[in-house]
């Protein structure tokens, strides 16, 4: 079992001993976590259908009223949320022609952060012409998740740079856009929030 995971960085980034204190405790998944897993599955299925050549485009109607692989009932609210995420990515790709270059739910090695660490960004793309990487993270929960200095996205950005650049140490010119898509968080900052920095 991995001690440090990017998805837990909101805890161990601020409390260095949190992963040690949780060792040996039961890993019971909450209903909210199960719902988030289901929403991610719906979003990944819909988005992938646009990317795979010859695939039939999946719409909300293909999912509403069914069960996800982890046995969560999929309702209209879930598919609407997934479509907000999918549409944000498609809008970017339609403007850049990068649809076939998307990396969707691909596990990556993050040894550059911590030995043995790996993670699975929801979606990312490298736009060589604009010298930018865009990373998306779909959050289905209600609690506000900030894109600004988000430790999970920073870890993924580091991994994407390592994977995409021929010389990661000479990438300071590269723009990194980290986007949180959170359809059920009703903050004044909107449901799509971005933090842009240079690598």
Q: Could you tell me the residue ranges of all domains in the chain?
A: 30-198
Query: Is it the case that residue 142 has pLDDT exceeding 80?
Result: yes
At residue 71, the pLDDT reads 97
Mean pLDDT, rounded, for 126-150: 94
Q: How far is CA 151 from CA 5, 163, 180, 195, in A?
A: 11, 18, 12, 12
Taking the C-alpha atoms of residue 43 and residue 37, their distance in angstroms, rounded to an integer, is 10
CB 108, CB 160: distance < 8 Å: yes
Mean pLDDT, rounded, for 25-49: 89
Please give the mean pLDDT across all residues of the chain: 87
Give residue for tokens 């204190």.
21
Which pLDDT band, with edges at 50, 70 and 90, does 1 fall under?
very low
Which pLDDT band, with edges at 50, 70 and 90, does 186 fall under?
confident
Q: Is 25 left (phi over 0), alpha (psi -120 to 50) or beta?
A: beta
Contacts of residue 192, defined as CB under 8 A and 6 or more positions apart, other chains included, come to 84, 88, 179, 180, 181, 182
Taking the C-alpha atoms of residue 156 and residue 188, their distance in angstroms, rounded to an integer, is 26
């Amino acid at each position: 079992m991995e001690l440090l995971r990017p998805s837990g960085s909101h805890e161990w980034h601020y409390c260095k001993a949190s992963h040690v204190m949780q060792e040996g405790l039961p890993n019971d998944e909450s209903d909210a976590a199960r719902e988030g897993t289901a929403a991610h599955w719906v979003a990944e299925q819909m988005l992938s259908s646009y990317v795979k050549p010859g695939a039939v485009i999946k719409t909300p109607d293909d999912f509403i009223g069914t069960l996800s692989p982890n046995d969560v009932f999929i309702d209209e609210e879930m598919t609407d949320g997934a479509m907000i995420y999918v549409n944000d990515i498609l809008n970017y790709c339609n403007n850049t022609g990068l649809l076939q270059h998307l990396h969707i739910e691909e596990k990556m090695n993050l040894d550059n952060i911590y030995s043995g660490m790996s993670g699975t960004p929801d979606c990312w793309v490298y736009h060589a012409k604009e010298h930018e990487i865009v990373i998306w993270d779909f959050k289905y929960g209600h609690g506000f998740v900030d894109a600004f200095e988000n430790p999970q996205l920073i870890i993924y950005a580091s991994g994407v740079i390592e994977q995409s650049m021929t010389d990661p140490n000479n990438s300071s010119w590269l723009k990194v856009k980290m986007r949180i898509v959170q359809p059920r968080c009703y903050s004044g900052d909107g449901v799509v929030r971005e933090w842009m920095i240079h690598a």
